[in-house]
């Protein structure tokens, strides 16, 4: 059965590109543009990995990461923080909150993201 | 009079902070658009959207490189903006673990190093070193500037070595690359504000020329020294010192 990746990204265009790439690689993809959609998706589905942007319109991604790590059902789910924020304080905060990886969008291609997803949860 | 002056300083500090925030926010938005362009061009190059002719593929590769250059410029703008913002603030000296700071600075540049196919090697000392007396955020800028230059001016598959040792009440840090080196003429002016060496301009057309100026200022404000050893075409090693933290 295909693994499920939840993409939390408010830029619809980037979200679409990420989703297309991961679907093509055989993953089941769910998308959310804000925290409400994100938590709704997490409640009703078995999620294998979360790709998380940090700058969202309602709350920041750190808050979502914190909630995920506090949730018994989700705390073991790998979370890749995927953002254009790149300051050490952001990386360090995400790492402390339990991010599995921190990737800066502009430094990576979609191939590299999908490779990282595969590395963490397999196909 | 003194109160009036303080009010003006406060106002200027506030304005400086607002300016830095605006630059930072704009740069992040530009970087998001450039990321999208990068991914799309890569999809074309990889044939995800159909096979390209040789000419189309060449053009796409050129666009990809140009876009990556634009991403580097925005990253540099963010670093310069951060450096300026941090430098404006008063120094806050505490005991800093240099090994941890170097580790985290290397991590910050791991993506950049990967993109340039450069290996960063941190030669950690066998014996435990004492902490240094430093402003952590300002010292981070020193390391960032030196690591960024070492990566930027290295050739593909090059190596960057970071080492440190204790000497006469100071910790000496070295960042060595096997890159393009500094020209004889450049050696006289490399720490001047806005100066860019001819070898650097050939390798990277764009650059602000404030990195090493800022780096020297911060090192000297800590009571340390900065110098380099360089041979054109062979590489450069930058050295700097920071005083060991002493409990008063």
Is B31 within 8 Å of A109 when comparing Cβ atoms?
no
Is A84 within 8 Å of B28 when comparing Cβ atoms?
yes
Whether the predicted interface score ipTM is above 0.85: no
**Is B11 in the same domain as B128?**
no
**Chain B residues touching residue A111 (CB < 8 angstroms):** 42, 46
**Is B238 in the same domain as B168?**
yes
Chain A: residue whose CA lies nearest to B74: A106
Of B43, B64, B88, which closes a domain? Answer: B88
Is B35 within 8 Å of A13 when comparing Cβ atoms?
no
**Chain A residues touching residue B35 (CB < 8 angstroms):** 14, 84, 105-106
**Best of A107, A112, A113, A115 to disrupt the B interface by mutation (most B CBs within 10 Å)?**
A107
Residue B207, in any domain of the structure: yes
How distant is the Cα of B115 from the closest Cα of chain A, in angstroms?
A: 7
DSSP string of B192-248, one letter each residue: STT---HHHHHH-S---S-HHHHHHHHHHHTT--EEEEEETTTEEEEEEEEEBP---
Domain that holds residue B221: 94-243
**Is B38 in the same domain as B101?**
no
> Quick one: A4-25+34-118 is in which CATH superfamily?
Response regulator (3.40.50.2300)
Yes or no: say if B193 and B142 are a contact pair by the CB < 8 Å rule.
no
**Is B33 in the same domain as B115?**
no
**Is B110 in the same domain as B169?**
yes
Yes or no: say if A82 and A103 are a contact pair by the CB < 8 Å rule.
yes
Is A107 within 8 Å of B114 when comparing Cβ atoms?
yes
pLDDT digit string, tens, across residues A28-48? 999 999 999 999 999 989 999
Residue B248, in any domain of the structure: no
Residue B168, in any domain of the structure: yes
**Is B67 in the same domain as B114?**
no
**Chain A residues touching residue B46 (CB < 8 angstroms):** 111
CA-based R_g, chain A, Å: 13
Q: How many CB atoms lie within 10 A of CB A11?
A: 20
Distances (CA, A) of B206 to B50, B73, B108: 34, 7, 21
Is B39 within 8 Å of A55 when comparing Cβ atoms?
no
In chain B, the DSSP E strands lie at 94-96, 119-123, 132-134, 159-167, 170-177, 226-231, 235-243
- pLDDT category of residue B19 using cuts at 50, 70 and 90: confident
**Chain B residues touching residue A14 (CB < 8 angstroms):** 32, 35-36, 39
Of B40, B69, B88, which closes a domain? Answer: B88
**Is B162 in the same domain as B238?**
yes
CB-neighbour burial class of residue A94 (10 A; exposed 0-12, middle 13-18, buried 19+): buried
**Is B24 in the same domain as B67?**
yes
Residue B171, in any domain of the structure: yes
The count of domains in chain B is 2
Using the Cβ of A87 and the Cβ atoms of chain B, whether some distance falls under 8 Å is answered with yes
Structure tokens given for B72: 């580097």
**Is B116 in the same domain as B83?**
no
pLDDT digit string, tens, across residues B141-195? 899 889 988 998 888 889 999 999 999 999 999 999 999 898 888 888 888 877 7
- pLDDT category of residue B206 using cuts at 50, 70 and 90: low
CATH number assigned to the domain comprising residue B50: 1.10.287
pLDDT digit string, tens, across residues B35-93? 999 999 999 999 988 899 999 999 999 999 889 888 888 887 887 777 776 676 778 89
Is B107 within 8 Å of A91 when comparing Cβ atoms?
yes
Of B62, B88, B114, which closes a domain? Answer: B88
């Amino acid at each position: 059965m295909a693994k499920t990746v939840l993409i939390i990204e408010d830029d619809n265009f980037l979200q679409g590109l990420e989703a297309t790439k991961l679907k093509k690689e055989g993953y089941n993809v769910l998308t959310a543009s804000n925290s409400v959609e994100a938590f709704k998706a997490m409640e009703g589905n078995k999620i294998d990995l979360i790709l998380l942007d940090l700058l969202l319109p309602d709350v920041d991604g750190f808050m979502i990461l914190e909630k995920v790590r506090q949730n018994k059902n989700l705390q073991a789910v790998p979370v890749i923080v995927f953002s254009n924020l790149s300051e050490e304080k952001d990386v360090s905060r995400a790492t402390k909150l339990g991010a599995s990886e921190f990737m800066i969008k502009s430094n990576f291609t979609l191939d590299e993201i999908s490779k990282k997803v595969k590395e963490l949860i397999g196909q | 009079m003194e109160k009036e002056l303080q009010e003006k300083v406060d106002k200027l500090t506030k304005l400086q902070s607002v300016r830095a925030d605006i630059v930072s926010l704009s740069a992040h938005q530009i970087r998001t658009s450039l990321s999208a362009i990068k991914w799309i061009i890569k999809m074309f190059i990889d044939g995800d959207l159909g096979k390209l002719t040789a000419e189309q593929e060449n053009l796409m590769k050129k666009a990809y490189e140009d876009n990556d250059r634009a991403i580097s410029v925005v990253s540099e703008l963010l670093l310069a903006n951060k450096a300026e913002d941090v430098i404006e603030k008063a120094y806050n000296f505490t005991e800093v673990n240099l090994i941890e700071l170097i580790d985290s600075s290397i991590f910050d540049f791991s993506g950049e190093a990967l993109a340039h196919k450069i290996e960063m090697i941190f030669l950690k000392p066998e014996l435990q070193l004492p902490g240094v007396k430093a402003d952590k955020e300002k010292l981070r800028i020193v390391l960032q500037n030196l690591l960024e230059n070492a990566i930027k001016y290295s050739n593909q598959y090059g190596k960057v070595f970071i080492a440190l040792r204790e000497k006469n009440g100071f910790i000496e840090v070295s960042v060595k690359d096997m890159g393009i080196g500094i020209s004889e003429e450049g050696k006289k002016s490399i720490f001047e504000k806005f100066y860019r060496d001819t070898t650097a301009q050939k390798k990277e057309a764009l650059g602000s020329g404030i990195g090493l100026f800022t780096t020297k200022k911060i090192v000297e404000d800590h009571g340390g020294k900065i110098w380099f050893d360089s041979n054109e075409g062979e590489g450069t090693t930058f050295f700097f010192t920071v005083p060991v933290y002493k409990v008063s």
